Chain A
Amino acid sequence: NAGVTQTPKFRILKIGQSMTLQCTQDMNHNYMYWYRQDPGMGLKLIYYSVGAGITDKGEVPNGYNVSRSTTEDFPLRLELAAPSQTSVYFCASSQKPTAQHFGDGTRLSIL
């Protein structure tokens, strides 16, 4: 019962570095989402996908890129890390645009 798996769980980056946050789900869900959550705040949608090959911007897409080459995987790419991107990142999936299953999160610090 893996559900939604995110890697890594923790990461520290230097300003200007790049990295990819991995997300995979084994529930054959069509919809996948990336959120960020800053301390004391709600989740903000970065990007989402309604199926393989289709991605759309959410509320806060700047500084990020995504791809969806398979149903299972939805990686999030940071090209030029900035301190403002320090946050907890959650990936989620759902069969329809309804109730979502979340991964454990990736805690990212940019120094």
Chain B
Amino acid sequence: RKEVEQDPGPFNVPEGATVAFNCTYSNSASQSFFWYRQDCRKEPKLLMSVYSSGNEDGRFTAQLNRASQYISLLIRDSKLSDSATYLCVVNYNNNDMRFGAGTRLTVKP
């Protein structure tokens, strides 16, 4: 099993749609979880951290399920500007961060 696994997509959705991404991780001792977005040929940028109780930032909601070892990202009311690759990141041990391969999202008018 890969350390961090994501559905590669692509997800093609119309503007205004709700879309959800999942990410599974293999190390049950992992403590830190993040979602990053990466635009084409650009560096990754932090979208949000994922907390145990779940957290929301505007149209974005992140959830953590430790028992099943997965995290999720929900995007509501998709905008054209949400088109990007979304990267799931999990700490493998204290300092070693592992990235998923990313899920590509295209929001269409």
Q: Which residues does A use to contact B, with CB under 8 Å?
A: 31, 33, 35, 40-45, 48, 50, 56, 58-59, 90, 97-105
Which chain A residue has the least Cβ–Cβ distance from B45?
A102
Is the beta-carbon distance between B44 and A99 smaller than 8 angstroms? no
Is the beta-carbon distance between A45 and B97 smaller than 8 angstroms? yes
Is the beta-carbon distance between A97 and B49 smaller than 8 angstroms? no
State how many angstroms separate the Cβ of A58 from the closest Cβ of chain B: 6
Is the beta-carbon distance between A99 and B95 smaller than 8 angstroms? no
- B99 in the interface, Cβ–Cβ < 8 Å? yes
Is the beta-carbon distance between A104 and B96 smaller than 8 angstroms? no
- B74 in the interface, Cβ–Cβ < 8 Å? no
Is the beta-carbon distance between B101 and A45 smaller than 8 angstroms? no
Interface residues on B, range: 20 to 34
Q: Report B-chain residues with C-beta under 8 Å of the C-beta of A31.
A: 95
Instruction: Decide yes or no: A48 and B45 within 8 Å by CB, A42-B102, A99-B34 being known contacts.
Output: no
- B76 in the interface, Cβ–Cβ < 8 Å? no
Q: Report B-chain residues with C-beta under 8 Å of the C-beta of A33.
A: 97
Which chain A residue has the least Cβ–Cβ distance from B87?
A42
Per-position binary interface string of chain B over residues 16-51, scored 1 when its CB falls under 8 Å from any chain A CB and 0 otherwise: 000000000000000010100000001111100100
Per-position binary interface string of chain B over residues 69-109, scored 1 when its CB falls under 8 Å from any chain A CB and 0 otherwise: 00000000000000000010001101111111110000000
Q: Report B-chain residues with C-beta under 8 Å of the C-beta of A59.
A: 92, 96, 98
Is the beta-carbon distance between B46 and A97 smaller than 8 angstroms? no
- B62 in the interface, Cβ–Cβ < 8 Å? no
